[in-house]
């Protein structure tokens, strides 16, 4: 009996040593990949920030109001934020590749999902940037047109246009990365409908006089000519 127990323990210890011997090379490869990924991600971060600075990305963000928005949210400048995003994307990709070397079947699916998620995330970031720029352009154009047309409360009107454009942009970005797609679409439809209904009720109830003045300004009434003043042809 004692010999059987001793043999079982000896076999278990031998299997453990063989498992460790087979695992150690993969662990060293994983550590090497993670360290190399950190170095490459650091280089990519510095290169991204340098290129964005040379291209005048910071000045563009200043003109579009992105810098002020990031400052109010206690976030770093736009070029530093973009460089950090590149760093984490590259490093996480290397970390997942390193973990995949360990041979864990549960993490192989995670690596595949991450590879599919990165392009969607990049497209979502592009949508956010382009949407924010277009929202600012629409805000300025609406404000200028409203001021020239002498529309009452031009800042409120332009701010509403900008807010709606930003909400639409955020909904498109979230739909692109498939984050709670049904909830986002439903919430956007409800919020958009509620805002439009509220604006319509508020304008109809409290802004009747304003609407009348706007219509009178844009479409002045034309008085019919007096028949007695008509001059006949000779």
pLDDT digits (tens, 9 = 90+) for 79-110: 888 888 888 888 888 887 777 777 666 666 66
pLDDT of residue 52: 85
DSSP 75: -
Domains of the chain (ranges; CATH) run 7-103 (no CATH), 119-217 (1.10.287)
Q: What does the block give as tokens for 56?
A: 């005048």
Whether residue 177 contacts residue 114, with contact meaning beta carbons closer than 8 Å, is answered with no
What percentage of residues in the chain have a pLDDT greater than 90?
3
pLDDT of residue 13: 67
Give every CB contact of residue 195 below 8 A, 6+ residues apart in sequence: 164
> Collapsing DSSP states into helix, strand and coil, what is residue 101?
helix
Q: How far apart are CA 135 and CA 158, in angstroms?
A: 10
Q: How far apart are CA 124 and CA 164, in angstroms?
A: 18
Rounded to two decimals, the pTM is 0.56
Tens digits of residue pLDDT in 105-151: 666 666 667 777 777 877 888 888 788 888 888 888 888 888 887 77
Whether residue 171 contacts residue 188, with contact meaning beta carbons closer than 8 Å, is answered with yes
pLDDT of residue 1: 64
Whether residue 76 contacts residue 70, with contact meaning beta carbons closer than 8 Å, is answered with yes
Whether residue 87 contacts residue 22, with contact meaning beta carbons closer than 8 Å, is answered with no
Give every CB contact of residue 83 below 8 A, 6+ residues apart in sequence: 45, 46, 48, 49, 52
Mean pLDDT within 210-214: 69
- Whether 155 has a pLDDT exceeding 80, the answer reads yes
Closest by CA to 188, choosing from 180, 68, 125, 16, is 180
pLDDT tier at 233, thresholds 50, 70, 90: very low
Q: What does the block give as tokens for 196?
A: 């439009």
Q: What does the block give as tokens for 119?
A: 């392009």
């Amino acid at each position: 009996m004692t010999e059987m127990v001793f043999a079982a323990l000896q076999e278990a210890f031998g299997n453990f040593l063989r498992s460790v011997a087979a695992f150690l090379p993969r662990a060293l490869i994983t550590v090497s990949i993670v360290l190399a990924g950190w170095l490459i991600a650091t280089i990519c971060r510095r290169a991204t920030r340098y290129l964005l600075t040379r291209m005048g990305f910071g000045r563009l963000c200043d003109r579009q109001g992105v810098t002020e928005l990031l400052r109010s949210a206690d976030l770093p400048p736009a070029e530093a934020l973009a460089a950090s995003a590149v760093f984490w994307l590259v490093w996480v990709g290397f970390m997942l590749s390193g973990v995949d070397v360990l041979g864990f079947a549960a993490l192989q699916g995670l690596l595949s999902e991450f590879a599919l998620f990165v392009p969607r995330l990049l497209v979502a970031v592009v949508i956010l940037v382009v949407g924010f720029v277009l929202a600012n352009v629409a805000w300025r154009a609406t404000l200028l047109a409203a001021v020239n047309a002498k529309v009452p409360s031009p800042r409120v009107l332009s701010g509403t246009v900008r807010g709606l454009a930003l909400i639409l942009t955020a909904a498109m970005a979230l739909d692109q990365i498939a984050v709670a797609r049904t909830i986002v679409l439903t919430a956007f439809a409800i919020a958009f409908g509620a805002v439009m209904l509220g604006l319509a009720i508020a304008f109809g109830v409290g802004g009747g006089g304003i609407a009348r003045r706007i219509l009178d300004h844009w479409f002045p009434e034309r008085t019919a000519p007096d028949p007695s003043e008509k001059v006949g042809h000779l």
